[in-house]
Chain A
């Protein structure tokens, strides 16, 4: 019991120093203040100092020189949506590579094999959506 208590104490202090206190966040706070201040000064400065000429042409949305027409709230082809959903799915799966990348050397060939297995499951899903025609753009 004594030993466990001693261990507990030791580890608590060790981890406590490792995680740090509020004082360690001081530089981050400074940086945050500086960033906000910089942006505020720049926007405010250009707003105050810059000349203002409000004409109809200037107030129009800039769309690469092409005349804009209609609003953005129009129904779009469902295909965009399908691609977006598939992108979300396949994109987020990549998250599992992060732990692997960190322990790349320790895991060795066995880890590599398992990642290959993971990627192959990925590919199976990808082949499936291609075969199902989910990515065909033209009707």
Chain B
């Protein structure tokens, strides 16, 4: 399958995520949209890492063909782990917020305007 399909799919997912972040009002939904953005990136990284002929050619031919572009897949692991850390901190903050205001609506966040 040509790479363009993957790029189009992940760009679409990414844009859905961005639009969600910018338009939704529920903190948890915003957080899910951010996760959607990260997963779009994961998809793109895996697709690129699987179709990576350039790196193989410019680096030495001695590089094992099976390992070409494996760094992209490792990057995906790091994104997943960091996203999990971010989610746990984020959910904790949202719960803290909920305990104080009994709402997860970001429209409530207006105490800090002038």
Contact = CB atoms under 8 A, between A and B. Distances in A.
Contacts of B54: 8
A78 B95 contact: yes
Interface in B37-70: 50-54, 56-58, 61, 65, 68
Interface residues of A, number: 27
Contacts of A81: 91, 95
Size class of the contact patch on chain B: 20 to 34
A22 B2 CA distance: 8
B7 to A, nearest CB: 15
A100 to B, nearest CB: 11
A92 B80 contact: yes
Given A7-B61, A14-B65, A88 B88 contact: yes
Contacts of A7: 57, 61
B85 interface: yes
Interface string A12-46: 10111011111001000000000000000000000
Nearest to A78: B95
A71 to B, nearest CB: 17
B84 interface: yes
Most buried by B among A11, A16, A19: A11
B50 to A, nearest CB: 6
Contacts of B57: 4, 7-8, 11-12
Interface string A86-99: 10110111011011
A93 B83 CA distance: 11
A25 B2 CA distance: 13
Contact of A88 (B51, B53, B84): B84
Given A85-B91, A88-B84, A88-B87, A96 B77 contact: yes
B53 A96 contact: no
Interface of A: 4, 7-8, 11-12, 14-16, 18-22, 25, 78, 81, 85-86, 88-89, 91-93, 95-96, 98-99
25 contacts: A4-B58, A8-B54, A11-B53, A11-B56, A11-B65, A12-B53, A14-B53, A15-B56, A15-B65, A15-B68, A16-B53, A19-B1, A19-B51, A20-B1, A78-B95, A85-B92, A86-B88, A88-B87, A88-B88, A89-B84, A92-B81, A93-B84, A95-B77, A98-B77, A99-B74
